[in-house]
Amino acid sequence: MQTARRQFVIVGGGQAGGWAARTLRERGFSGRIVLVGQEAHPPYERPPLSKELLVSGKPSSSSYLWSSEKLKDLEIDFHCASSAAAIDRSRHELRLQDGRRIPYDRLLLATGARPRRLALPGTDLPGIHYLRTIEDCLTIRQALASAERLLVVGGGWIGLEVAAAAVTLGVPVTLVEATDQLCGRSLPKQSATYFLDLHTARGVDVRLGAKLVSLKGPEVVERAVFADGSSLRVSNVVVGIGVEPNVELAVECGLSVDNGIVVDETTRTSDPDIFAAGDVASQPVDVVGPRHRLESWQNAQNQGIAAAKAMLDEESRHRELPWFWSDQFDLNFQLLGIPDRSDRIFVKGDPCTGRFVQFFVANQRINAVAAFNSPRELREAKRLMLGKLPFDASSLSTSAVVQ
């Protein structure tokens, strides 16, 4: 199609938005590309923020996808440190917070998500942190340099990775989780127990079923108070209790929203000229269920690329098989699929060695695979899952079965 006179606008300067912008240019789009990002950085990867960037002292630029110079080479008009305020669908126009108006022929919303805030007395005290941006990471890294004890609130992935990073730096850590297991939204107990044992063995004070009721301190946070009346002296707090998708722009302009911006398999929203990708998109995932919002590095990149192709009217179908990874201490963990739709777990290997695989099966098909220091095992399982082929435990030499 003729693109030289067209203008495509992308809201969100993260991984999904960055890959979409680059893909548009690499696929031959010759019109103007406007990339609007809230942060002062060019597009970057978020996984290092709770892992190597937090521990190693590397510069923040090490997590950049590309430099600002690369964006210029691609002739991408990058508006950094800018916030979108509203979408006028009838005029095909995006309005920024500073009043500027940017017309679009097609618009991509890659607005991501924000940390869910802790709603308790004392959460406005200095020393309480959330981790989502490079600035958040650098602030926490500086705090850990002199921390006496870190309190991590939330036993999900961010909480576990921050706890592992802090212990690696020599900081005593107490991790509290309100439910009776770690990673309750993404893992069954059979998997979560391994993470509990891993962190406990490394000295993390893990408290399950612990209900935090307030944080106290005259000037900075100094003490955490729990529902059972106990308290804990802390010098810093990191809160990791999940995220909320940034759907406000979509809601206000009348797009369909259901735990994220609803998109079809081409990433198109209920408006044919508006697309969505990344953490904010509620997409069909037929391998594991009808619809899902995927908060992962892989999905942000791949869906951003798919959105760019769809904006160019290329034949593009995006149905992601959920894949997630985490590094904690000496553990590399990878999860393919969604395990909560399974009724049996087959185990290959010995958890005592730290190298094993869990296959989550229902109706003789694999719904998910959890690989603990065993990345090679995912390849065959992925083939079976994508092909919806029957699972044969004997062919994979599984050594144990858990009902």
Q: What is the CATH number of the domain that holds 122?
A: 3.50.50.60
CA distance 322 to 340: 13
Q: pLDDT grade, residue 403 (50/70/90)?
A: very low
What per-residue confidence (pLDDT) applies to 14? 95
Report the number of distinct structural domains present in the chain.
3
Mean pLDDT over all residues of the chain? 92
Q: Mean pLDDT, to the nearest integer, of 196-212?
A: 98
What per-residue confidence (pLDDT) applies to 291? 75
Q: Are residues 214 and 171 in the same domain?
A: yes
Q: What is the pLDDT of residues 215-247, one digit of tens each?
A: 999 999 999 999 999 999 999 999 999 999 999
Q: Are residues 130 and 270 in the same domain?
A: no
Q: Are residues 183 and 254 in the same domain?
A: no
pLDDT at residue 190 greater than cutoff 90: no
Which is nearest to 51 in space by CA: 330, 245, 304, 293?
330
pLDDT at residue 113 greater than cutoff 90: yes
Q: Is 2 domain-assigned?
A: no
Q: Is 319 domain-assigned?
A: no
Q: Mean pLDDT, to the nearest integer, of 187-195?
A: 93
Q: Are residues 154 and 206 in the same domain?
A: yes
Domain extent at residue 265:
7-114+243-311
HEC secondary structure over the chain: CCCCCCEEEEECCCHHHHHHHHHHHHCCCCCEEEEECCCCCCCECCHHHHCHHHHHCCCHHHHECCCHHHHHHCCEEEECCCCEEEEECCCCEEEECCCCEEECCEEEECCCEEECCCCCCCCCCCCEEECCCHHHHHHHHHHHCCCCCEEEECCCHHHHHHHHHHHHCCCCEEEEECCCCCCCCCCCHHHHHHHHHHHHHCCCEEEECCCEEEEECCCCCCEEEECCCCEEECCEEEECCCEEECCHHHHHCCCCECCCEECCCCCECCCCCEEECHHHEEEEECCCEEEECCCCHHHHHHHHHHHHHHHCCCCCCCCCCCEEEEEECCEEEEEEECHHHCCEEEEEEEHHHCEEEEEEEECCEEEEEEEECCHHHHHHHHHHHHHCCCCCHHHHCCCEEEC
Q: Is 69 domain-assigned?
A: yes
Q: Are residues 107 and 11 in the same domain?
A: yes
What per-residue confidence (pLDDT) applies to 49? 96
**Which residues lie closer than 8 Å to 299 by C-beta, 6 or more apart?**
278, 279, 320, 322, 323
**Which has more confidence, 221 or 285?**
221
Q: Mean pLDDT, to the nearest integer, of 116-122?
A: 96
Q: Is 66 domain-assigned?
A: yes
What per-residue confidence (pLDDT) applies to 1? 47
Q: What is the pLDDT of residues 10-62, one digit of tens each?
A: 999 999 999 999 999 999 999 999 999 999 999 999 999 999 999 988 899 99
Q: Is 322 domain-assigned?
A: no
Q: Are residues 397 and 381 in the same domain?
A: yes
Q: Among 221, 239, 257, where does a domain finish?
A: 239
Q: Mean pLDDT, to the nearest integer, of 256-284?
A: 96
Q: Mean pLDDT, to the nearest integer, of 279-304?
A: 84
The gap from C-alpha 327 to its chain's centroid, in whole angstroms, comes to 14
Q: Are residues 154 and 301 in the same domain?
A: no
